[in-house]
Amino acid sequence: MTEEVLQVIGTDGSASKQASQGLDKKALQRIYRMMVLVRTMDERGLKLQRQGRIHFYVPSWGQEAAQVGAVEALEPEDWLFPSYRDPGMFLNRGFPLQDFVRQLFGNANDPLKGRQMPNHFAAREQNCMSISSPIATQIPQAVGAAMAAKIRGDKTVVLVSFGDGGTSEGDFHVAMNFAGVYASPIVFLCQNNQYAISVPTKMQTGSKDFAIKARAYGFEGVKVDGNDVLAVYQATKKAVDKARSGGGPTLIEAVTYRMGPHSSSDDPTRYRSDAEVEEWKAKDPIDRFRGYLEGAGAWDEAFEKEVRESCTEEIASAIKAEEKVKPPPWETIFTDVFARMPRHLQEQLDEIVRARSEDPNFKFP
């Protein structure tokens, strides 16, 4: 069941004519641009944090294919339960880059009004559930949403994304068991990026891989080359179609690599070698997909120049605009909680307004 690793594009970019999986030239080019946009945003995000312009950043450098390829297989009505290292999923679902940047700054334009840490997005219009920092908590929540869809009789499929470290949490096993018993319309995507912060895969599990864990819960596990965007798309599309038709869940293990730090607070040189990083750089998902597109007649130097320049300009423009915006008004701590403010919050708000009017030096918060 998990003996082979699904691969469509070779490490040199070579692939069969059927590799496009029905995606036309424009779709393939859009996927490539999205991968470049995510990578470019990562580079700028880390620089913004290092410069003290934002407080925190979680890069996904090296995992662009796993994220963009998986979400490409979803329909607009489907739901996504992501982790904090999934910007490619949000952006490929149509989450505006401007809102992405607003959330990093936590300013007054931020749809979440500064309530969440940077990289912890939520996008109701794109059916993307809010991200949480605790590991794996989104997995049973996703199964619950999938079961709700099944009970209602609609054809919604849920995709839940998590890292290899998430499989060591009880939430993962509870969710897998429930989904297997009740044939939930869900796709579990484990992005095996080789490390849970500093803990390597070999210390995460005694199983030969993560995909095989699905067997214990009564459904299919698939292992895929997570740096091959078309392989991830193919595996996810098959799993999504199966779930939508009543065939139950699938666990996909996308084997990839986190090229950067776990977060802007991490120093990966303390727990992995330069040689290991260089080995995985040779498997870069963007370079591989570029090689495929060139062979398919969908890439040239002019296209590359346009993509790089447009991504850089789009990000720079968003940062320039949002960095000038002030933080959310302090009153939103009270007003942006309930549809109708309860008495105890109204009393606290009134007290602060009174204190501010009596003492010009009163500070809140």
Q: What is the pLDDT of residues 91-149, one digit of tens each?
A: 999 999 999 999 999 999 999 999 899 999 999 999 999 999 999 999 999 999 999 99
Q: Tens digits of per-residue pLDDT, 8-50?
A: 999 888 887 678 888 999 999 999 999 999 999 999 999 999 9
Q: Tens digits of per-residue pLDDT, 141-192?
A: 999 999 999 999 999 999 999 999 999 999 999 999 999 999 999 999 999 9
Residues classed as catalytic: 258, 262, 271
**Which residue, among 15, 32, 26, has the nearest Cα to 69 in the 3D structure?**
32
How distant, in Å, are the alpha carbons of 69, 209, 224, 253, 294 from that of 4? 19, 11, 8, 12, 27
Q: In what order do the strands lie in the sheet with 79-81?
A: 5-6, 220-225, 250-255, 186-192, 158-163, 79-81
15, two tokens:
């692939």
Q: Are residues 266 and 360 in the same domain?
A: no
CATH number, domain with residue 18: 3.40.50.970
Q: Are residues 259 and 345 in the same domain?
A: no
Q: Is the pLDDT of residue 3 over 80?
A: no
Q: Are residues 309 and 346 in the same domain?
A: no
Distance CA(255)–CA(226), nearest Å, equals 5
Q: Are residues 151 and 164 in the same domain?
A: yes
Q: Are residues 216 and 267 in the same domain?
A: yes
Q: Are residues 292 and 241 in the same domain?
A: yes
Q: Are residues 85 and 146 in the same domain?
A: yes
Q: What's the average model confidence in pLDDT over 263-291?
A: 96
Q: Are residues 28 and 168 in the same domain?
A: yes
Q: Is the pLDDT of residue 2 over 60?
A: no
Q: Tens digits of per-residue pLDDT, 311-361?
A: 999 999 999 999 999 999 989 889 888 999 999 999 999 999 999 999 988
Contacts of 288 (CB under 8 A, 6+ apart): 9, 10, 11, 12, 13, 65, 227, 228
DSSP 3-state of 225: strand
Domain span at residue 349 reads 329-365
Domain count, the chain: 2
Q: Are residues 271 and 364 in the same domain?
A: no
To which residue do tokens 């794996």 refer? 136
Q: Are residues 40 and 82 in the same domain?
A: yes
Q: Are residues 284 and 175 in the same domain?
A: yes
Distance CA(108)–CA(328), nearest Å, equals 4
With cut-offs at 50, 70 and 90, classify the pLDDT of residue 1.
very low
Instruction: Return the pLDDT at 227.
Output: 98
Q: Are residues 255 and 172 in the same domain?
A: yes
Instruction: Return the pLDDT at 336.
Output: 84
To which residue do tokens 């698939």 refer? 222
Mean pLDDT for the chain overall: 95
